[in-house]
Structures are given as structure tokens and as C-alpha cells.
């Protein structure tokens, strides 16, 4: 089903040798589609225009605007701070994290593309909010069942009314084991062809191109909002862990977005910076920091990034600048951003903000470079840390408070394939 789904999207069908990661098979020039757009263009309008170009021949303009409308009742928000600095707030989605943008689009586009064909089942594993975001994005999507596996412990933020026995389409299953057991079970289910074919099994993990490509849309959106104010270089600063977000930016550039560089903003886990600077990538042990989504030792998009470097190493050296920001600087940056600009940053966004400030101070800054900092999480996600750094209390929006509520699974299973398949089958 994965291949069937991906084959439908011809765009995604090149598989890297050994890596198994899909990258766009052809380069699309989208300039003619977005260069005439300006700050009046809404996010759904942009998505409806650009998505059919990306999914060539698969999504007609009418379907695309249905998908855009049904995916996005939230928008990126570009906030210009001064002549050389903006923040692109990407945390207004249902779980307060930028990943909502990719997930929401994937759910909506799958529903649209699967219309009039056999039903599908999306499997995901989670130990935190992302899986919940996936399950919720597929909630009420016609023809799709969403199975969520999580390791021993509690899951939060789902409504039991949306579970299969109650007439919904979500099946949360607790696995007596680890997160890795959950992922292994998903792979085993996908490889069990009779079962996978019968239920149309696919997965929605972070390296799924159906989640990655829609992340290019908000880069284009930031560009059309800021382009009239640009007098020189445009740079994006991206808090990077598994490097999906940065890769999406690079795709936007490949598709024709005029941009001069990307800052790969990392925390103390910055071994990948060596690779970006042309050295060999030697992973280092993980360090726990106050920006945990960036605590990654081997980025899962490594092969995708490597394919850019193999194609044009010299170009890439001038395109991506690595930066490493320690915890102390992160907190200091949160404080300074509040004092200077009256904005509240979460620690991940602060890493990117600090890296942007470093770049602007390191060059002979003359106002001719504009940096857009990607703010990837709502400050309320790390409310205590925000208060510590800024002295401000953050109000937790209702949708994020909902995510605190514990729910019970539909089944608790041993980490075995037959147990999983039995639990799924007994619900349907």
C-alpha cells in the first residue's frame, strides 16, 4: 500500500539505494505559480495553487482547493520584527507544533486521493504528541482508519468518542514494550502482504514524503509575505533535529523560491554540523538539552540531505550554515527576545533565533540580509521554562490543555504481530 499510494504520486517514486528514503523524482519549477502571489494570498490559496504542481496529474485544481480548505483551519503567521528579522510562527495548529502542517495536509490529501477506491489504514507509533496529532488529523476522514501504537505508559489528548467501537475511526493500542517495538510492529504489518493488502495498510511516520513536501508550502508563504520588503539576501533559520524541516526548505529552493541560505540551528547535539561543513559525519552520544526535539544523534533524513551534497557539494556549502546553541544561550535568547521585541519564544525557536543573531553579528551586517526564524512550537508547550527565562506567565490555549487529558487504549497487547493484527481485526 505504501508503494501503491506513493506510486499514485509519481513525484515521490525515486528510492535511494540502501536508504529506502523517497526523494522527489523530478524537479519542478514553481516560479510561475508563486512569483505573482503577494501578501494578499491566503495560505489555502497558495496550497491549492502549488499542490497540483507538486502532485503532477494526481490532484486537479478543484481537488486541491478542497484539500487545502479541509486541511488548514490554521495558518502560518509571519511577524516582522525589524528590517532584517522576521519570525514565522508555525505553532497555531491543533498540537501547537509545526509538524501539524505536514500531517494535516497528508490526512486531507489521502482522503481526497482515496475517494472511490478501497479503504486505507494508517499506522503510526508515538511516544508523545506527534502520534496524537496524526490520529486527530485522520479523525473522521472518510475511508481511512487510524491505528496508533504506543509503548507502556499513558496516552493523552484523544477523545474516546473518536475511537472505532464508538463509531469513530481511531484505534489506539498500547504495546507492552518500547517505542522501537511499536515501530518494528508497524514494519512487520506492512510486510505482511495479505493483511496489508486487505486493509490497505500504510504508515505516516516523519520521513513520509507526504508529510515532508507540504512543509515547503510555508516557506513559499513566508517568501510571498516578505518579498516586497527584501533588499538583499533572504535566509531562513531552522531549528533542526531530524532535518525534515530544513530539507523541506531546500526543496522549496529547488522548486524555484529565491533564497540565499539556510541556518541549520542545532543545540549541543551538533555532530551533524561537521558533515555540513564538509567533514565526515561521526555521530556522537546524545546529550539531553532544554530543546528536546533537537536531541537527535543520527538525523533520520540523513540520506535525503546527503543526496543534495552528493549532487552539488560546493553549492550546498554556500547554502547551509550550521550553528550550535547551548542551553544557557537558549535561555538568554528567550529573555532578550522578550525584552527587545516583546515576543515569547519556545526553546526550540530560541535556538534558531540565537543562530540568526549570530549570523547577523558575524558578517559585516549592513541591513541587507533578512532572516526568517522558524518558530516551531507554541511557547505554552514549555511554559515553565518560558517563565523562568522571561518572567512571563504563558496562557495555555484550550486546544493544548486538551492534550493533557489521559485516555485508555482499546487494547493492550504483547509486542507480537499476531496480537496486533488480532486486535485490529476484532475492532472492524
Ligand X SMILES: *Cc1c(COP(=O)(O)O)cnc(C)c1O
Q: In whole angstroms, how close is the CB of 301 to ligand X at the nearest point? A: 7
Q: Does 208 bind ligand X (CB under 6 A)?
A: no
Nearer residue to ligand X within complex by CB, 63 or 216: 216
Q: Is 249 in the site for ligand X (CB under 6 A)?
A: no
In this chain, which of 242, 260, 392, 416 binds ligand X, going by CB under 6 A? 242
Phi then psi dihedrals of residue 84, to 5 deg: -115, 10
Please, what is the minimum distance in Å from the beta carbon of residue 304 to ligand X?
11
Interface with ligand X, residue 243, by CB under 6 A? yes
Size of site (CB under 6 A) for ligand X:
14
Burial 71-108 (b: 16+ CB within 10 A, else e): bbebbbbbeebeebbbbbbbbbbbbbbbbbbbbbbbbb
Q: Does 241 bind ligand X (CB under 6 A)?
A: yes
CB atoms within 10 A of CB 217: 26
200 binds ligand X per the rule CB under 6 A:
no
Task: Determine how many CB atoms are found less than 10 A away from the CB of residue 339.
Answer: 10
Q: Which stretch binds ligand X (CB under 6 A): 141-149, 163-171, 235-243, 278-286?
A: 235-243
The contacts of residue 137 (CB under 8 Å, 6+ apart) are 94, 100, 103, 104, 106, 107
Residue 256: other Cβ atoms inside 10 A:
17
Query: Closer CB to ligand X, residue 146 or residue 240?
Result: 240
Candidate residues 50, 104, 125, 293; the one interacting with ligand X per rule CB under 6 A? 293
Report the residue number, 309 or 411, with the smaller CB distance to ligand X: 309
User: What is the residue whose three cell numbers read 493533557?
Assistant: 404
Q: What is the spatial distance between Cα 389 and Cα 369, in angstroms, rounded to a whole number?
A: 28
Q: Per CB under 6 A, which of residues 86..125 are in contact with ligand X?
A: 97, 99
Nearest-angstrom CA–CA distance, 420 and 342: 50
Minimum Å distance from CB 129 to ligand X?
A: 8
Whole-number Å distance between alpha carbons of 242 and 184: 19
Cell of 177: 514494550
Task: Give how far the C-alpha of residue 340 lies from the chain's centroid of Cα atoms, to the nearest Å.
Answer: 29
| Closest alpha carbon to 270 in 309, 236, 243, 307 | 243
Smallest distance from ligand X to CB 253, Å: 16
Q: Residues 344-363: x/- map of binding to ligand X (CB under 6 A)?
A: ----x---------------
Candidates 49-57, 73-81, 238-246, 407-415; binding stretch for ligand X (CB under 6 A): 238-246
Is there binding between residue 240 and ligand X (CB under 6 A)? yes
DSSP secondary structure string, 330-373? HHHHHHHHHHHH-----HHHHHHHHHHHHHHHHS---S-EEEEE
Q: How far is the CB of 242 from ligand X (least distance, A)?
A: 3
Task: Copy the grid coordinates of residue 314.
Answer: 560546493
State which of positions 312-351 bind ligand X (CB under 6 A).
Answer: 348
Region from 239-247, 324-332, 389-397, 409-417 binding ligand X, contact rule CB under 6 A: 239-247
Q: Which range, of 149-157, 165-173, 216-224, 233-241, touches ligand X by CB under 6 A?
A: 233-241
Which chain residues interact with ligand X by CB under 6 A? 97, 99, 239-245, 293-294, 348, 376-377
Amino acid at each position: 500500500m505504501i508503494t501503491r499510494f506513493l506510486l499514485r504520486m509519481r513525484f515521490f517514486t525515486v528510492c535511494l539505494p540502501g536508504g529506502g528514503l523517497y526523494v522527489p523524482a523530478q524537479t519542478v519549477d514553481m516560479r510561475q505559480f508563486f512569483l505573482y502571489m503577494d501578501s494578499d494570498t491566503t495560505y489555502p490559496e497558495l496550497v491549492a495553487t502549488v499542490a497540483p504542481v507538486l502532485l503532477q496529474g494526481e490532484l486537479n485544481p478543484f481537488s486541491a482547493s478542497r484539500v487545502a480548505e479541509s486541511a488548514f483551519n490554521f495558518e502560518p503567521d509571519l511577524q516582522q520584527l525589524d528590517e532584517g528579522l522576521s519570525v514565522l510562527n508555525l505553532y497555531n495548529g491543533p498540537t501547537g507544533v509545526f509538524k501539524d502542517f505536514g500531517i494535516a495536509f497528508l490526512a486531507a490529501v489521502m482522503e481526497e486521493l482515496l475517494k472511490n477506491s478501497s479503504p486505507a489504514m494508517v499506522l503510526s507509533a508515538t511516544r508523545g504528541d506527534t502520534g496524537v496529532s496524526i490520529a486527530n488529523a485522520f479523525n473522521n476522514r472518510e475511508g481511512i482508519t487510524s491505528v496508533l501504537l504506543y509503548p507502556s505508559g499513558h496516552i493523552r489528548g484523544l477523545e474516546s468518542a473518536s475511537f472505532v467501537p464508538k463509531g469513530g475511526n481511531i484505534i489506539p493500542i498500547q504495546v507492552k514494550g518500547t517505542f522501537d517495538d511499536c515501530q518494528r510492529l508497524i514494519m512487520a504489518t506492512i510486510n505482511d502482504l495479505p493483511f496489508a493488502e486487505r486493509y490497505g495498510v500504510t504508515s505516516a511516520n516523519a520521513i513520509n514524503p507526504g508529510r515532508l513536501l507540504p512543509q515547503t508550502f510555508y516557506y513559499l508563504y513566508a517568501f510571498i509575505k516578505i518579498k516586497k520588503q527584501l533588499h538583499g539576501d533572504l535566509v531562513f533559520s531552522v531549528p533542526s533535529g531530524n532535518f525534515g524541516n530544513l530539507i523541506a526548505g531546500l526543496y522549496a529552493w529547488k522548486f524555484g523560491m529565491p533564497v540565499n541560505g539556510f541556518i541549520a540551528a542545532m543545540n549541543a547535539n551538533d555532530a551533524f554540523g561537521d558533515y555540513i561543513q564538509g567533514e565526515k559525519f561521526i555521530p556522537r552520544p546524545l546529550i539531553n538539552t532544554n530543546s528536546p526535539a533537537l536531541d537527535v544523534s543520527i538525523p533520520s533524513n540523513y540520506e535525503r540531505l546527503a543526496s543534495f551534497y552528493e549532487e552539488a557539494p560546493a553549492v550546498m556549502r554556500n547554502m547551509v550554515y550550521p550553528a550550535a546553541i547551548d542551553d544557557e544561550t537558549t535561555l538568554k535568547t528567550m529573555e532578550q527576545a522578550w525584552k527587545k521585541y516583546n515576543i515569547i519564544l519556545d526553546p526550540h525557536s530560541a535556538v534558531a533565533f540565537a543562530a540568526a543573531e549570530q549570523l547577523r553579528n558575524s558578517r559585516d551586517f549592513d541591513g541587507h540580509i533578512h532572516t526568517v526564524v522558524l518558530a516551531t512550537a507554541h511557547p505554552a508547550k514549555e511554559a515553565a521554562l518560558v517563565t523562568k527565562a522571561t518572567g512571563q506567565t504563558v496562557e495555555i490555549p484550550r486546544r493544548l490543555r486538551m492534550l493533557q487529558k489521559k485516555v485508555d487504549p482499546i487494547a493492550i497487547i504483547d509486542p507480537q504481530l499476531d496480537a496486533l493484527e488480532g486486535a485490529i481485526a476484532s475492532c472492524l
